[in-house]
Structure 1
Amino acid sequence: MNTAVAGPMPEWERIRVLRAESEYASVRKQTRVAWLLWALTGVIGGHRFYLGDTGRSIAMLFTLGGLGVWTLLDAFFVGRRVRAVNRERRAAIMARYGILDATTDL
């Protein structure tokens, strides 16, 4: 949150931003958890269920991770997918609160 350009933020606006940030913190996905789930349940798509990719999760579940191929490929994409999911969730929450979010570092 950068207030240097606009000056001090009114109290009601600060509370609105804090509520939005709090809501985002409650739905934010953790990279470590996704990696742990990939390591323990990758073949059945546990990490994909955690990230909300239900269709892909079910496909991995019934094909045992594409016979292991999808599971191995996901090793390269777990971190990127967590960042994408968090970016989408943050943007949706900020839009719902009417906040223009210029944050690039999640």
Structure 2
Amino acid sequence: MSLTTEQQILIEQRLQNEKKSTGVAYLIWFFLGGLGGHRFYLGRTSSGVVMLVLWLVGVATAIIAVGFFLLIPLGIWVVVDAFLIPGMIERVNAEKRKFLKLELAGDLAISQASA
């Protein structure tokens, strides 16, 4: 089904209101990167939980030097994520656009069926 120009504009306007921000993602990454905050913001909950657990266990066991073996890879992961954030945001926003199109198509089908 092809969308009209008005429907495409409506989708883009909703996307502008609901899309994830690169600036916000980088601010969260800067302040809460080791805790996986930026991954929670971008909807990657499972990897955010892994980062949070690595940080908690790493800090708790740093006294006996075991924690450093967890904190060093975590630090590398956080630095690598700085380069991955733009791609993650593009994917999240593309998925949101696809969802909005499907939602609009579903609403149209319901309104046509009831007419």
- Report if TM-score (shorter chain) is over 0.5: yes
Q: Which runs of 4+ in 1 moved over 4 A?
A: none
CA deviation after TM superposition for structure 1 residue 70, in Å:
1.4
Give the aligned CA root-mean-square deviation in angstroms.
1.9
Q: Give the counterpart letter for 2:79 in structure 1.
A: L
State how many pairs are aligned. 86
Structure 1: stretches of 5+ with no match in the other structure: 1-8, 99-106
Structure 2: stretches of 5+ with no match in the other structure: 56-70, 106-115
1:50 aligns with 2:41: yes
Aligned ranges for residues 53-92 of structure 1 at < 5 Å? 53-64=44-55, 66-92=73-99
CA deviation after TM superposition for structure 1 residue 67, in Å:
2.7
Q: Give the counterpart letter for 1:93 in structure 2.
A: L
Q: Among 12, 15, 22, which residue is 1:21 paired with?
A: 12
Report Cα offsets for 1:39-94 as digits up to 9, x if no partner.
11100011111111111111111112753121111011011111111111111111
Identity of aligned residues (%): 34
Report Cα offsets for 1:17-47 as digits up to 9, x if no partner.
4443333223200011111111111000111
Q: Which has the larger radius of gyration?
A: 2
CA distance in structure 1 between the aligned counterparts of 2:86 and 2:54, rounded to whole angstroms? 23
Q: Report the TM-score when normalising by structure 1.
A: 0.70
In structure 2, what is the equivalent of residue 4 of structure 1?
none
Q: Give the counterpart letter for 2:104 in structure 1.
A: Y
The structure with the largest helix share of the pair is 2
Q: Report the TM-score when normalising by structure 2.
A: 0.65
